Structure formats: structure tokens, C-alpha cells
Amino acid sequence: MGAMTWQQLRDLDCGAIRALGDGWKSYVDAMLDQTERLRTDVVDGHLAVEHYESDTAARVREQIGLTADRYEDDLSDYASTRIATTLHEAADAFEAEQGEIKELVPLIAAHDFEIEGDPAEYDVNLSGELHRAILTTDPPQWLCDMVGIAKPAGAFDLDRLKVLFNGVDLYGTAIGLAGQYQDWLRAVMSRTRDADDEAAAALTEMREHPTELPPRLGAAYDELVGDYREAVSEEVAAEAKAIAEGTSGMSPEQVNQWWDHLSDSERDALVEDHPGWVGPVDGIPTGPRDTANRSLLDREIDGLDAQIADKERLLAGTDPESDEYETLTEAVDGLKDDRADLGRLHDRITDDDGGPAASSQTGQPFNLLGFDTEGGGRAVIAIGDPDGADNVNTYVPGTGNSLGTAGGLLSRAETMAFDAQRLGGGDDTATVMWLGYDTPDDLVQATDAAFAREGARDLESFTKGLRATADGDPANLTVTGHSYGTTMVGTAAASEGLPADNLVMIASPGTGVDTASALGADEDRVWATVNRDDPIRYAPVHGMDPTEDGFGANTFTSDAPAESSEWWKFWEGPIADHSSYWDENNGISRDNQAYIVTGNEAGVR
């Protein structure tokens, strides 16, 4: 089947998809009544011990209980988590994008643009009529309004002459607007495909892994039932492994439902025996993720210590003049760097007694939601508990960051947390430092959008996980990008979709799109800032500067407090200003961010 077209999306009956999901949910509820009856009326009723006491009766009761368990598990895993939730999530996603299409397509038509090309990458071009109108210097009213002229009324009309001789850029303006609509349309269709693919993956995985049933009663029952119990136990582990490796096709919401359905002992066993299948997984609640990740961190540090010791032993017996010696030395240095980075991370989030530390700034506990030493390294750390918070702010840093700089980034996140507590009116705000992608090493690499594209799915998954694990009402969720981090946030929002209430773009080199409309969030809740001296405003390499009027975001004030050390070192101040948004003398920027994050937009200036 080919990709969905915009017409198909526009005409899609999302209500029917949702009703189908509701139907499956109702079916699950009705069927659970049946297993309840089996247990109460049969196992604990007619076939209860007081009526039938024998080995055979015990086996029958056990077999019925196992069958009921199996049935309930399958109802939960398949009918509810897989089918109903997939249908609900798909309906929600399609409906959101359908709303965008229904807003966008009339705008495209009203401006005499045309949608052309393949659904995988639609173009929005000027129609033949619009071309003619511009060529004959008879532009439509909307275009006259955009370029600031009155609609020409005759052959020698002054505004027609302006068009002809004063360089009023009708074509450029029209093409610019068409480009914004094209960004918007492509973003809508990208997110639609994403939702479609995710739904298909969830359903496909279900079909490919049929579950086992309990053994039938008979001569071999006693022999087989032990194997069955073991298989059920292994099944949980296999599911956890598939989820962690990303082959289950389950969304974070589905992972959360799966986790909820496990018994306490199954959850504890996974955290203890397989922390690698728990710690990094979006959709599993913060508490067990933190416990599992701390265990993984200890293991990783121990493993690095052992590797360093092994390699140093080898080094001692190697000729210092040999190539092998040089190779081994480099390897040891690399391992020592990783060990130092992880050691600092460990010390930062661990108290003197070896337990989880709390932030000295807010008193909130640190929660380790992920880390990795591959490439530049990654770290995802929450200050506070995102599952129970009123507000959650996810901070996405930019160029030049790695596990080695995670400490400084965490300090910045602590300042954001502190400011939210200072201004938040008593609300509980959790702040997450999400260094969950491979950032560009330097400004040259930062001109490449590939880093953002490669991290987009992970940021989508992480934010969906935050939604899935929320206790009670969903938090007011903000995603804040700084510098290349805004490119990361914008790319993820436009291509995959981020379930955020607020998107905040600080000192952006471009968000990957030219209009806030393409970000899939309410434009009234897209925010951008850049201070007057920040050189990034002259380098919009990833699309329009989001603080420009044409982008359509709200803007807020940030000062430019940095100064050069000498008058002739004129570049020092502006360069420092690119990262001054949390610095001294920039309280206005810090306050504005905190007001957005805590839902006090009235305070933003």
C-alpha cells in the first residue's frame, strides 16, 4: 500500500477508528467478567476444595486458573494494549493531523497555490493563474497586502509602476509563503506516516508472535505444566527484551500498559536481573528506570575499571616503541575518559550514603533516565519526578556537548528547576536534561541537520514516555531547545511529532522548518528568543529564525549581558552571548523561561 495522500487524510473517518478501539476495550471488559466468573463460580465455587478434594480436582482447578490467567494476559497484551490502544493512538494522531490539513489546504487554495508531487514529499507551488497574475502585474489582493502596495487599478497605476520598476518582490513573497505552506504540509504528512507506520508495526508484531496455551489435562499434564510455567516466565523476559531492543512495535503508552499489567515480582525481577531492559525504556515509570539505570551505571563503572586494569597489564608487557603499545595506550586513555565521565555522573547523583542524591538547589531527587558512552555519550537526568509533577520541562542542549559536559548541563538544568520553583507559585516542576542525541562537535558540523534527524525518534519516544507515565492529570509539558537543540526539537516536532504543550526555542540557528505551524503544536504556545548581540541570528542555516515575525511564534526578551575583555576583542561579547541565557545579568530570560514552563504566560515579556 502506498503512502497516505493528503486527500485520504482529510477524508479519513477517525471516529470509526476510535470506535473500533472502544469496541475492543468493551470486549476486553466483557471477557474479563467471564474469567472472573470462572474463578469465583467454578474454581472457588462448584469445584471448590470443600466440594471436590482430590489430586485430579486440584489439577482441574489449577488448569482452569492457568487458562484464565493466560486469557487475561492475552486480553491485556493483545486486545487491549496492542489492538485497542493502537487504534486509539492512531485515531488521535490522525485526527490531530487531519485538523491541520483542514486548516492548511483551504489556505493553500485561497492563495492560488497548488499541491503537487509525491505524498512522501509534497510540493506547494504557484498555480498557473498566480504566475500569470504576477507576470501581468495584476497580483491578487493578498499578495498586494503582503508586499505593501494597493492593488493596481489600471495600466499606468502608480502601484503597477512600483511593481514594474521599484523591485517589489511579488514572486519572492509568493514563493516564500508557498514554502511555508510546503513545510507545514510536509510536516503534517510526515507525522501522519509516522503514526501509520507505528500502528502497523504494533499490529504486525502481534501477529508474528502467537502465545502458548496451558497444557491440556491428561496423562502428560504434570510433566508439561512445569514447562508451561517456565515458558510464561520467560515470555515476560522475552517481551521486555523485545521492547528494550525496539523490536516489539509497542509505543511508550503501550509499554506503560504492559508494565502496569506485570506483577510486582515480575517487575522487581526485571529491574534486578535485567536492568538494561528497564532503564532506557520510555513508557516505564521513573522510579524503576532510575533504579535500573543506577545499577547499570555501577556495572558499567566496574566493567571499565576491569578493562582498564586488563589493558594496563597488557601494556606493561608491550614494547613501548611498538605500534601495539600506541594502540593500547589510546584504548586505555579512551576507557579512562569514559570512566571519569561516568564517575562524575555517579558522584553527582549519589549521596554520601550511596543512595540517590537530591539537588542542593531545589531539594528534588535526581532520577537517572538513561546514559550511554557510545560516541560522544548521552545522559538523560531528571531533577524531580516527571511522573508526578505539575509541570515538566525537558531541556535539549546544542553543539559541543557530550557525557563530559553533562555536569555543566545538569547545573544549567538545576538553575531552570530552581527558577521554576522560585516563580512557580508552589507547583511541582520536574526538569529533565535530555542529552539523548549525538550533538555536533563544532559549528561546522552544526550546519548539518543529520544530527537532528537521527535524534528525532528518540526525542519523540522520550516525550511520549513522559506522557505515558504521568500519574493522574498530564503535566504541562515544555520542551526547551538551546542553539542546535532547537534544530533537534523542531525537527522532531515536525517529522515525528512531540506531545508538548510548549516549545521554547532559545538562540536558534533554525528549527528545520520556516513556520511555527509546521511544528504540530499550538502556535500560541511556540516561544522563541534571541538576544540582540547573539551572532546566531545571522546564521539561520536550518530555516527561518523563529523569532522573526513571519515564523509565527511568540517571542520573549533576553538580555545580551556579555562583554568583551578588550575593546578590540569585539567578538568575545557576542560569542559569549550565544550561551548567556542563564547567566548573570540575564534574569529576564530566566524568568521568562520559568513563567512559560510553569504556565504563568502572563508574566512573559
d(CA 400, CA 485): 11
* CB of 360 vs another protein, minimal distance in Å: 4
Q: By CB under 8 A, tell whether 216 contacts another protein.
A: no
Q: Which range, of 14-22, 171-179, 252-260, 397-405, touches another protein by CB under 8 A? A: 397-405
* CB of 547 vs another protein, minimal distance in Å: 17
Rg over alpha carbons for the chain, rounded to the nearest Å, is 29
Which residues are 554's β-sheet partners? 527
d(CA 546, CA 548): 5
- Amino acid found at 527: W
Q: By CB under 8 A, tell whether 583 contacts another protein.
A: yes
> Which of residues 294 and 464 has its CB atom nearest to another protein in the complex?
294
Among 61, 160, 467, 578, binds another protein (CB under 8 A): 578
Q: Which residues from 479-518 bind another protein, rule CB under 8 A?
A: 483
Determine the distance from the C-alpha atom of residue 190 to the mean position of all C-alpha atoms in its chain, rounded to a whole number: 15
d(CA 467, CA 252): 9
Among 45, 128, 354, 408, binds another protein (CB under 8 A): 408
Residues 196-205 as b/e (b if ≥16 CB within 10 A, e otherwise) read bebbebbbee
- Amino acid found at 222: D
Query: Residue 171, SS3?
Result: helix
d(CA 482, CA 251): 27
Q: Which range, of 110-118, 243-251, 281-289, 558-566, touches another protein by CB under 8 A? A: 558-566
Q: By CB under 8 A, tell whether 361 contacts another protein.
A: yes
d(CA 10, CA 102): 7
Q: Which range, of 86-94, 310-318, 417-425, 516-524, touches another protein by CB under 8 A? A: 417-425
Report whether 174 contacts 134 (CB < 8 A). Answer: yes
> Which of residues 548 and 601 has its CB atom nearest to another protein in the complex?
601
Q: Give the closest residue to 239 by CA, choosing from 215, 205, 268.
A: 205
Q: Give the closest residue to 214 by CA, choosing from 33, 40, 82, 62.
A: 62
Among 172, 354, 375, 425, binds another protein (CB under 8 A): 425
Sign of the four-CA dihedral 542, 545, 551, 557: positive
* CB of 549 vs another protein, minimal distance in Å: 25
Q: Which range, of 152-160, 169-177, 237-245, 416-424, touches another protein by CB under 8 A? A: 416-424
d(CA 121, CA 410): 38
Question: In angstroms, how far apart are the furthest CA atoms of the chain?
Answer: 107
Q: By CB under 8 A, tell whether 538 contacts another protein.
A: no
Q: By CB under 8 A, tell whether 414 contacts another protein.
A: yes
* CB of 570 vs another protein, minimal distance in Å: 12
Among 442, 538, 549, 567, binds another protein (CB under 8 A): 442
Report whether 259 contacts 283 (CB < 8 A). Answer: yes
* CB of 238 vs another protein, minimal distance in Å: 42
Q: The cell 608491550 sits on which residue?
A: 318
Q: By CB under 8 A, tell whether 448 contacts another protein.
A: no
Among 218, 405, 476, 528, binds another protein (CB under 8 A): 405
Among 423, 432, 435, 597, binds another protein (CB under 8 A): 423
Q: Which range, of 86-94, 186-194, 245-253, 581-589, touches another protein by CB under 8 A? A: 581-589
d(CA 255, CA 249): 10
Report whether 506 contacts 545 (CB < 8 A). Answer: no
Among 65, 215, 400, 550, binds another protein (CB under 8 A): 400
The values of phi and psi at residue 332, to 5°, are -65, -45
Q: By CB under 8 A, tell whether 587 contacts another protein.
A: yes
- Strand (E) or helix (H) holding 367: strand 366-372
Q: What is the DSSP string of 238-286?
A: HHHHHHHTT-S---HHHHHHHHHHS-HHHHHHHHHH-GGGTTT-BTB-H
* CB of 582 vs another protein, minimal distance in Å: 6
Q: By CB under 8 A, tell whether 375 contacts another protein.
A: no
> Which of residues 45 and 587 has its CB atom nearest to another protein in the complex?
587
Q: Which range, of 11-19, 24-32, 523-531, 565-573, touches another protein by CB under 8 A? A: 565-573
By CB under 8 A, the count of residues binding another protein is 48
* CB of 443 vs another protein, minimal distance in Å: 7
Q: By CB under 8 A, tell whether 582 contacts another protein.
A: yes
Q: By CB under 8 A, tell whether 339 contacts another protein.
A: no
- For binding to another protein (CB under 8 A), which residues are involved? 352, 357, 360-361, 363, 398-401, 404-405, 408-409, 411-412, 414-415, 418, 421-426, 442-443, 483, 563-565, 569, 572, 575-576, 578-579, 582-585, 587-588, 591, 595, 600, 602-603, 605
